């Protein structure tokens, strides 16, 4: 009811995942992930085992939101690329199509130039996939509509059970 919900289907998820993996290998990055602007992790690939991707997703969105606020104060629309340089690891953050955030974590095996180049290409492809997804949601082609929605049948007991 608030805004439009973000919905992800199997078909697009696979396409997104494949594109993230391609970006990971072509940019020699350690980790690549996608976050929506509200801080929810959409997909991640690479060396994620010891990484708290949920927290990273939330902080990434906070970071984008804060710099977006700064941009507004300066009369800019947004800062579409952020880069944080560390001793060992670096983070490249970019906004794709207003709605999602692409994050690439890389070390000395890669370089900012290479990451920028590959991100640019992937951003186009990911943008197209998200447009396809949005269209699907808007035209009601996805499985969420109609009687087969898994949520239509939710009861109070289902919710009580969540809390054990």
Partner 1 sequence: MSFINYSSREINCKIVYYGPGLCGKTTNLHYIYKKTNPDSKGKMISLATETERTLFFDFLPLALGEIRGFKTRFHLYTVPGQVFYDASRKLILKGVDGLVFVADSQVERMEANVESVENLRINLAEQGYNLDAVPYVVQYNKRDLPNAVPVAEMKRALNPRGVPDFEAIASEGNGVFDTLKAIAKQVIMELKKGQEGG
Residues that bind partner 1 (CB under 8 A): 1-10, 12-14, 36-40, 42, 52, 54-55, 58-59, 62, 65-66, 68-69, 140, 142-145, 149-154, 156, 158-164
CA distance 39 to 108: 28
In 3D space, the residue among 146, 42, 149 whose CA is nearest the CA of residue 101 turns out to be 42
The minimum distance between CB 49 and partner 1, in angstroms, equals: 15
**Cβ nearer to partner 1, comparing 86 with 150:** 150
Nearer to partner 1, 28 or 132 (CB): 132
124 vs 119: CA distance, rounded Å: 9
Q: Rounded to the nearest whole angstrom, what is the least distance from the CB of residue 62 to partner 1 in the complex? A: 6
What φ, ψ does residue 13 adopt, rounded to 5°? -60, -40
């Amino acid at each position: 009811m608030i805004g439009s919900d973000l919905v992800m289907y199997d078909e697009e998820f696979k396409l997104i995942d494949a594109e993230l993996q391609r970006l990971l290998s072509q940019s020699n990055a350690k980790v690549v992930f996608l976050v929506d602007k509200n801080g929810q992790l959409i997909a991640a690939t690479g060396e994620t085992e010891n990484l708290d991707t949920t927290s990273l997703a939330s902080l990434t969105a906070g970071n984008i939101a804060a710099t977006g606020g700064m941009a507004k104060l300066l009369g800019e629309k947004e800062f579409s690329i952020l880069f944080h340089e560390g001793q060992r690891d670096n983070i490249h953050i970019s906004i794709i199509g207003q709605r999602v955030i692409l994050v690439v974590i890389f070390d000395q095996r890669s370089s900012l130039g290479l990451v920028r180049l590959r991100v640019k290409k992937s951003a186009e492809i990911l943008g197209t996939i998200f447009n396809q997804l949005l269209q699907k949601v808007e035209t009601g082609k996805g499985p969420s509509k109609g009687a087969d929605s898994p949520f239509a049948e939710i009861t109070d007991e289902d919710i009580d059970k969540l809390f054990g």
